[in-house]
Copies of this chain bind each other. A is one copy, B any other.
Amino acid sequence: MRAAVLEEYGKPLKIVDIDRPRAEGSSVVIKVSGCGICHSDIHLWRGEFSSILPADLPIVPGHEASGVVVDVGDNVPPDIYPGLKVLVYWSYCEQDDRYSEVGMYQHCSMKAPAGFLLYNGCYAEYMLVPHYRYLVPAEGLEDLSSAAILSCAGATAYNAVKRAVSHGVGEDEYIAIVGLGGLGVLAFQLARRLTGSRIVGVDVRREAVEKALEVLEPFEGDSIVDASRSDPRRSILEATGGKDVKVVLDFVGSRGSIETYMDLLAPRGLYVIVGLGSAYGPSIPVHHMVIRELTISSVFYGSIHDLRSVVDLARRKVINYRGFTTKITLDRVNEAIENLHRGRVVGRQVIEF
């Protein structure tokens, strides 16, 4: 089968023929339909995760996958069968513990995430999933290859929005969505369904704002802020009528974004870092935080329950995931990585097979 292989950090992936995997025991092989190119793939490619997720090169990257089951092991139950359309929960867990027991495989102490460690990912025609429990049925989704973005971006955005919900945010309070890329636009839509609050999306990239305005149709009370030419903080305060913000969901997660938007928080406000824009942000402002009882939290992917939830919302068309993808072929994967790295991508690129 054709696959794109990372042999050396920072070097172009090699597009080669490798053996197609086979299912045995509880594992399953899918024929990949769509494989999203996620910012984390850039971090992997550049070797920036080598300390936290030390991959054994060579590896086939790609963790945001949709596909069709083609081969199942002996222990796979009959509701997972060849021909079934599925999304893949990518953060596999090699030994069960208190996190995996409640479906939070992403915090398992023996992680083996697809496309990062031990298991090849979806930059390939076929993909081995080591246990059927990582598959989420995707029947009823209109565009299976685009739906790949739900399996990472979707679940992560859902997890982030749920964090806002459980923090408590009122109807006349604001949730700011920082960064209107693939995750941000999904989060914008989810926040509008799962909370009664006012949503303000912001991006410093004009094209991202334009794309978002085209697809999101904000309700009254919600807004999309173009911060490409003006001070982002001031632009947001104009949108809120000068009111502070109760929750910031930061899909950029850089030193700059945290410095910029933390100041907007109301007393008892919540700042959720989702993006991995910088390894380190600004210094923790102890006095400022304490006096206001601020919270800085973070979201890493989501549980398998989160993935199922977002798939269900997509199936019912509560969220639009199709308007934000650009489909490419496997041959153009290096170009796509380069474009994402250079900040030239609006929405999400998906390799379609």
Contacts and interface: CB of A to CB of B under 8 A. Distances in A.
Interface in A298-346: 298-300, 305, 308-310, 312-313, 315-318
A235 interface: no
A288 B292 CA distance: 24
Given A102-B102, A194-B194, A282-B284, A171 B312 contact: yes
A258 B172 CA distance: 34
A274 B290 contact: yes
A285 interface: yes
Given A107-B292, A171-B309, A194-B195, 5 more contacts: A170-B305, A196-B313, A258-B284, A281-B284, A283-B283
Given A99-B267, A258-B284, A280-B286, A196 B193 contact: yes
The winner among A172, A193, A196, A305 for most chain B CB atoms within 10 A is A196
A258 B284 CA distance: 9
A287 interface: yes
B290 A279 contact: no
Contacts of A290: 253, 273-274, 276, 298-300
Given A280-B286, A283-B281, A295-B297, A220 B316 contact: yes
A276 B289 CA distance: 10
Nearest to A301: B293
Contacts of A195: 194
A276 B286 contact: yes
A268 interface: yes
Nearest to A277: B286
Given A194-B196, A298-B293, A221 B278 contact: no
Interface string A83-97: 000000000000000
A1 interface: no
Contacts of A316: 198, 219-221
A293 B102 contact: no
Contacts of A283: 280-284
13 contacts: A52-B288, A101-B102, A171-B312, A194-B195, A196-B312, A198-B316, A219-B316, A253-B286, A278-B286, A279-B287, A284-B284, A293-B300, A295-B296
B296 A296 contact: yes
A73 interface: no
- Copies in the assembly, this chain: 4
A292 B282 contact: no
A16 interface: no
A294 interface: yes
Contacts of A308: 171-172
Contacts of A294: 297-298
A103 interface: yes
Contact of A280 (B276, B284, B318): B284
Nearest to A222: B316
Contacts of A292: 107, 298, 300
Nearest to A311: B171
B317 A220 contact: yes
Contacts of A278: 286
Nearest to A192: B193
The winner among A101, A170, A274, A286 for most chain B CB atoms within 10 A is A286
Contacts of A312: 171-172, 196
A279 B273 contact: no
A75 B42 CA distance: 40
